Amino acid sequence: MNFKINDNKEERYDDYGQISPNFHYNEFSCPCGCEPKQKVNRKLLENLERLRFIINKPIYITKGGGIRCKPYNDRVGGYSQSPHLKGKAADIYIKPNTFYGLIDLAHKADKVGFTRIGLYPFSHFIHVDIIPPSPSNSWVRDVNGKYFYFTSLATAIEFANELT
Ligand SMILES: [Zn+2]
Average pLDDT, whole number, for the chain?
93
Ion ligand 1 contact residues with beta carbon within 5 A: 30, 32, 34, 69, 72
Radius of gyration of the chain (CA): 15
Task: State the amino acid at position 25 in one-letter form.
Answer: Y
Cα of 35 to ligand 1 centre, how many Å?
Answer: 7
Cα of 50 to ligand 1 centre, how many Å?
Answer: 27
Percent of the chain's residues with pLDDT above 70: 93
So what CATH class is 18-163?
Answer: alpha beta
Residue boundaries of the structural domains of the chain: 18-163
Q: What is the pLDDT of residue 1?
A: 46
pLDDT class for 11, splitting at 50, 70, 90?
A: low
* pTM for the model: 0.92
Rounded distance between C-alpha atoms, residue 64 and residue 27, angstroms: 9
Rounded distance between C-alpha atoms, residue 113 and residue 129, angstroms: 9
Average pLDDT over residues 94-101: 96
Rounded distance between C-alpha atoms, residue 51 and residue 16, angstroms: 21
Cα of 87 to ligand 1 centre, how many Å?
Answer: 12
Cα of 134 to ligand 1 centre, how many Å?
Answer: 26
Cα of 111 to ligand 1 centre, how many Å?
Answer: 31
Rounded distance between C-alpha atoms, residue 156 and residue 15, angstroms: 34
